[in-house]
């Protein structure tokens, strides 16, 4: 058996729902040398990361940190730490990731109630209110932007509802953070978890997250301190969080000045996450979001310019992704295959009720760029024509140019 060669991936332009092409600056940051877990350089870098992500999440939350896992792990950390078996939780299910919240909350032993919304639509405030009134949950858990449907859930009014019905508010912001406005404190969000591989322009494997004082209080009551490092005066929780790795109380203790050992912080991922936040804040959070809005609009105009139907409620579309109806009679997977093989461009497929019906094209992070948008539209036009779809010549690129012109 011969030894596989060093890793040498092909050149790709990742224009799907994530991961997207990482910003080269993030990759360079991730090639920096390791330091020890408690090296002052490392603990300073952890503190810097907390400060940077407070700005990205627009929050004053002390507990703003990285969870060492992909976004899914961070969702699990939040839910397993906030929910006790038997707690009631309400989840508006509007797409694939709503189903994921249900699945994880069920595994936490919670009593899960859902509001089921047709894919492609938002959950209206009065529908959520009626469910809160009926269920009286301790937690309302919702996805902010569900990449499976491209729809952005409005948060207006949720803060007041959660106050009235006395429940915590959790948001999965994996696909939206950085590229779409998200105001943790102003919107009354108690817990929000993200990931690097969508709008933040990094790889998957680290999840920025933030927790309000109310959420921290719930978690602290249930946190454990492991026998080997427990000090005199440290209480033992009566109902400990049912995960060790994802015990947020222990993770808080590790990121706090106590620096109680938990796992070894994923140093290389932290370097990457730090650079992702620096990219956002150097450009300016609002400018970063405006760039996502601009290139998202251009991509939307472009696919419409090709005469393609767009999926979902456009009034509430995420800035960074568009769902494109696969024309009748076209093999969506064959088109994706040709885009990849001949142009090196990846666009996304869909899940569940949308499988085989919708492609998803992302414009986010490093790839929220004019050249990435125009190249993708141009390649899509060519591939569609070759499979027999009568697309207008130059219709996609021209419409995108117009969108850029109109914005300038």
Residues 348-377 that bind ligand PLP (CB under 6 A): none
Q: Which is nearer to ligand PLP, 174 or 338 (CB)?
A: 174
Does 97 help bind ligand PLP (rule: CB under 6 A)? yes
Instruction: Tell the smallest beta-carbon distance from residue 256 to ligand PLP (Å).
Output: 26
Instruction: Identify the helix (H) or strand (E) that includes residue 168.
Output: strand 168-172
Does 70 help bind ligand PLP (rule: CB under 6 A)? yes
- The burial class, CB within 10 Å (0-12 / 13-18 / 19+), for 176 is buried
Window of 44-52, 169-177, 229-237, 349-357 that interacts with ligand PLP by CB under 6 A:
169-177
CA distance 354 to 326: 10
CA distance 28 to 335: 33
Instruction: Tell the smallest beta-carbon distance from residue 401 to ligand PLP (Å).
Output: 29
Residues 142, 204, 350, 363: which binds ligand PLP (CB under 6 A)? Answer: 204
Q: What is the CA radius of gyration of the chain?
A: 22
Instruction: Tell the smallest beta-carbon distance from residue 207 to ligand PLP (Å).
Output: 7
Alpha helix locations (H) across 229-369?
A: 248-255, 267-283, 285-305, 332-343
Does 182 help bind ligand PLP (rule: CB under 6 A)? no
Window of 64-72, 124-132, 210-218, 349-357 that interacts with ligand PLP by CB under 6 A:
64-72
Q: Which is nearer to ligand PLP, 97 or 165 (CB)?
A: 97
In sequence order, what are the residues at sequence separation of 6 or more whose Cβ sits closer than 8 angstroms to the Cβ of residue 317? 150, 151, 152, 296, 300
CA distance 298 to 45: 37
CA distance 10 to 37: 34
Q: What single DSSP character describes residue 315?
A: G
Q: Which is nearer to ligand PLP, 143 or 339 (CB)?
A: 143
Residues 9-28 that bind ligand PLP (CB under 6 A): 18
287 with 251: CB under 8 angstroms?
no
CA distance 339 to 347: 8
Residue entry with tokens 């330091």: 35
Binding letters toward ligand PLP, positions 139-158, x by CB under 6 A: ----x--xx-----------
Side-chain half-sphere exposure of 179, counting CA atoms within 13 A:
37
Residue count at the site for ligand PLP (CB under 6 A)? 13
Q: Please indicate if the annotation marks 360 as binding a ligand.
A: yes
Instruction: Tell the smallest beta-carbon distance from residue 378 to ligand PLP (Å).
Output: 27
Q: Which is nearer to ligand PLP, 105 or 374 (CB)?
A: 105
Residues that bind ligand PLP (CB under 6 A): 18, 70-72, 97, 143, 146-147, 172, 174-175, 195, 204
Task: Mark the binding-site residues for substrate, compressed into ranges.
Answer: 360
Task: Mark the binding-site residues, compressed into ranges.
Answer: 360
């Amino acid at each position: 058996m011969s030894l596989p060669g060093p890793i040498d991936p092909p050149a790709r332009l990742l224009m799907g729902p994530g991961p997207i092409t990482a910003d080269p600056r993030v990759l360079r940051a991730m090639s920096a040398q390791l330091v020890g877990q408690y090296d002052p350089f490392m603990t300073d870098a952890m503190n810097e990361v907390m400060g940077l992500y407070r700005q990205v999440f627009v929050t004053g939350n002390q507990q703003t940190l990285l969870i060492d896992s992909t976004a899914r792990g961070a969702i699990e950390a939040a839910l397993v730490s906030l929910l006790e078996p038997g707690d009631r939780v309400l989840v508006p299910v509007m797409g694939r990731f709503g189903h994921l919240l249900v699945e994880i909350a069920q595994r936490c032993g919670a009593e899960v109630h859902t509001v089921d919304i047709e894919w492609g639509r938002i959950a209206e405030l009065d529908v959520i209110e009626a469910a809160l009134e009926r269920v009286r949950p301790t937690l309302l858990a919702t996805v902010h932007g569900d990449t499976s449907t491209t729809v952005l859930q409005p948060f207006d009014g949720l803060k007041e509802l959660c106050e009235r019905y006395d429940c915590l508010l959790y948001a999965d912001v994996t696909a939206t953070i950085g590229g779409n406005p998200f105001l943790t404190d102003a919107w009354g969000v108690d817990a929000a978890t993200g990931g690097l591989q969508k709008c933040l322009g990094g790889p998957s494997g680290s999840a920025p997250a933030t927790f309000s004082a109310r959420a921290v209080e719930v978690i602290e009551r249930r946190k454990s301190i492991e026998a080997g490092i427990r000090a005199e005066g440290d209480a033992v929780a009566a109902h400990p969080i049912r995960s060790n790795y994802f015990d947020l109380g222990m993770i808080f203790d590790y990121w706090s000045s106590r620096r109680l050992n938990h796992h070894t912080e994923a140093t290389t991922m932290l370097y990457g996450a730090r650079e992702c936040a620096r990219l956002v804040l150097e450009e300016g959070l609002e400018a970063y979001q405006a760039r996502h809005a601009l290139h998202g609009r251009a991509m939307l105009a472009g696919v419409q310019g090709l005469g393609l139907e767009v999926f979902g409620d456009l009034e509430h579309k995420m800035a960074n992704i568009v769902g494109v109806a696969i024309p009748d009679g076209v093999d969506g997977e064959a088109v994706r295959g040709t885009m990849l093989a001949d142009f090196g461009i990846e666009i996304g497929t869909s899940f569940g009720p949308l499988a085989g019906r919708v492609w998803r094209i992302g414009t986010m992070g490093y790839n929220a760029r004019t050249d990435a948008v125009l190249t993708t539209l141009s390649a899509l036009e060519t591939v569609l024509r070759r499979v027999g779809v009568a697309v207008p010549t130059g219709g996609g690129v021209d419409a995108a140019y117009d969108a850029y012109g109109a914005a300038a």
